[in-house]
C-alpha cells in the first residue's frame, strides 16, 4: 500500500517529524511528507495532486478545500505568533523592541511563508512603522526576507536555517514564527527570542485538513493533533491553543 501523503507549510519542516514520532497511534514510516508555501500546496491539491492531510500556515487554505468539497474536515491547529529572535549580546530590555527594530545599526531579517497572496506578510512591518512613526519604505528596504529552505546557500545538513543564517550572515534581529524561533535558539545557543509588543503583534492561524476518503492512520493523527495531548506537544513547540 502506498504511503499516506502529508503536505505541510515549510515552517513545519522540523516540527512535523517530531509530531509524527510523538503521536502514539501512528507509525511515522507510513507517511510521505511534502513541504512548501501553503498557497502553492493548496493549488496543487486543487489541481488534483493527492494529499491525505494538509497543514497550512493559514487556515484560509484548509477551510477553502473543505468548502470546495476536496477535503472532508478542517480545523484550527494552533496559533503561531511572530516573535523577535536576537543575538544574546543585544540588550533588548534597555533599548526597547520598537527602538531596536528601527535602529539601522542592526540588520533586520524577516522570515516569509512564500509570499502567500492570501496573507499580508508585510503587515508586521506596517505595524512597526505606524507604532514608531517611521518611514515604511525605509524599514522595508533594510529588511532581509528569508524563506525557509530556499535560501542560497542553504544551511548545512543538521543545522536550522534561521539559526545558521543569524550566525554566518550578519543578521542581528529576526521576525519569525514562534515555532521557528524555538528551533533557531535550540540550534544556535547565542540566540534568544522574546514576544513582541501588542501594538505590533501578528499571529498566524495554522489550519489542518483531511481528504474526504482519508485512511485510518490519517484519522488517528488528525484526532491526536487536536486532542489535549496533541495540543500540549504543539504548545511546547510554539503553536498556542486557539
Consecutive sets of 10 residues in the chain, 242 residues long: mean pLDDT of each? Answer: 90 94 93 93 97 97 98 98 96 88 94 61 89 93 79 79 92 96 96 96 96 94 98 98 92
How many domains does the chain fold into?
2
Residue 241 lies in a domain: no
Q: What SS3 class is residue 98?
A: helix
Output the pTM of the full model. 0.91
Q: What SS3 class is residue 143?
A: strand
Residues linked to residue 194 through DSSP beta bridges, in sequence order: 84
User: Do 58 and 87 share a domain, yes or no?
Assistant: no
CB-CB contact of 162 with 85 (8 Å): yes
Structure confidence at residue 61 (pLDDT): 97
Domain, as residue range, for 135: 81-200
Structure confidence at residue 113 (pLDDT): 64
Structure confidence at residue 93 (pLDDT): 84
Residue 11 lies in a domain: yes
Residue 242 lies in a domain: no
Structure confidence at residue 84 (pLDDT): 97
User: Do 74 and 138 share a domain, yes or no?
Assistant: no
Residue 74 lies in a domain: yes
User: Do 103 and 191 share a domain, yes or no?
Assistant: yes
User: Do 86 and 20 share a domain, yes or no?
Assistant: no
User: Do 97 and 155 share a domain, yes or no?
Assistant: yes
CATH code of the domain containing 215 = 3.40.190.10
Amino acid at each position: 500500500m502506498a504511503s499516506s501523503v502529508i503536505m505541510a507549510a515549510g515552517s513545519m519542516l522540523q516540527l512535523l517529524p517530531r509530531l509524527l514520532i510523538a503521536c502514539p497511534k501512528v507509525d511515522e514510516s507510513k507517511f510521505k511528507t511534502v513541504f512548501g508555501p501553503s498557497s502553492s500546496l493548496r493549488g496543487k491539491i486543487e489541481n488534483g495532486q493527492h494529499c491525505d492531510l494538509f497543514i497550512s500556515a493559514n487556515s484560509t487554505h484548509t477551510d477553502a478545500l473543505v468548502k470546495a468539497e476536496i477535503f472532508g474536515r478542517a480545523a484550527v491547529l494552533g496559533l503561531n505568533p511572530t516573535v523577535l529572535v536576537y543575538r544574546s549580546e543585544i540588550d533588548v530590555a534597555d533599548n526597547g523592541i520598537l527602538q531596536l527594530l528601527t535602529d539601522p545599526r542592526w540588520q533586520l531579517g524577516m522570515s516569509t511563508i512564500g509570499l502567500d497572496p492570501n496573507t499580508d506578510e508585510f503587515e508586521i512591518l506596517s505595524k512597526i512603522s505606524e507604532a514608531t512613526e517611521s518611514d515604511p519604505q525605509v524599514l522595508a528596504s533594510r529588511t532581509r526576507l528569508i524563506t525557509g529552505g530556499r535560501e542560497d546557500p542553504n544551511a548545512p545538513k543538521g543545522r536550522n536555517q534561521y539559526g545558521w543564517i543569524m550566525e554566518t550572515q550578519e543578521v542581528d534581529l529576526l521576525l519569525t514564527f514562534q515555532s521557528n524561533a524555538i528551533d533557531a535558539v535550540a540550534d544556535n545557543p547565542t540566540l534568544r527570542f522574546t514576544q513582541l509588543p501588542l501594538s505590533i503583534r501578528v499571529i498566524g492561524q495554522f489550519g489542518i485538513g483531511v481528504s474526504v476518503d482519508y485512511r485510518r492512520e490519517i484519522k488517528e493523527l488528525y484526532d491526536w493533533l487536536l486532542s489535549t495531548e496533541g495540543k500540549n506537544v504543539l504548545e511546547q513547540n510554539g503553536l498556542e491553543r486557539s
